[in-house]
Amino acid sequence: MKTFKKIKVLAVLVVMVFIGIAAVKQPVNEEFKNLQVLPKNISADSLDKIMDGFTTMLGVDCKYCHARDKKADTLMFDKDDKPEKEITRRMMRMTADINKNYFQFNENVTADQVQAVTCFTCHRAEPMPAKMPEPVKH
């Protein structure tokens, strides 16, 4: 009985050490070089989801914000050559601020958990939000 308990404690410890290593390893993850708004230790999976969200909510593809390296024929995701990328950083901060300041009714919840307002709220799958329609003639 006692040995069983000891083994259980040991197993938990081993798992904790592994999680510990994973947790320590993540911040040193140098996969992403130029994150200014998103957390620098974000997982590749979470970043992918956010980027896919941008394309859906704005009705664009990756190259709308990310400049192409003509020689290598790849997108330079860490470069800031397109103004759309910097505008997007401002839009990300604004959207988080709106959620935090006007929709966060419970202090235990963070702005990105609220997501009452998203890019889609204004953009509706368009890169430029719709203009106000002409007034209806009576």
Where on the chain is the footprint of ligand HEC (CB under 6 A)? 32-38, 47, 51-52, 54-55, 58, 60, 62, 64-66, 77-78, 84-85, 87-89, 91-92, 95, 117, 119, 121-123, 127-129
Q: How far is the CB of 110 from ligand HEC (least distance, A)?
A: 15
Cα(34)–Cα(21) distance, rounded to whole angstroms?
24
Helix ranges restricted to H, 99-126: 111-114, 119-123
Contact 33, 78 (CB under 8 A): yes
Q: Which is nearer to ligand HEC, 18 or 52 (CB)?
A: 52
Q: How far is the CB of 9 from ligand HEC (least distance, A)?
A: 41
Cα(73)–Cα(54) distance, rounded to whole angstroms?
22
Q: Which is nearer to ligand HEC, 41 or 84 (CB)?
A: 84
Q: How far is the CB of 19 from ligand HEC (least distance, A)?
A: 25
For 11-98, list the strands marked E by DSSP.
68-69, 74-75
Amino acid at 92: M
Q: How far is the CB of 111 from ligand HEC (least distance, A)?
A: 12
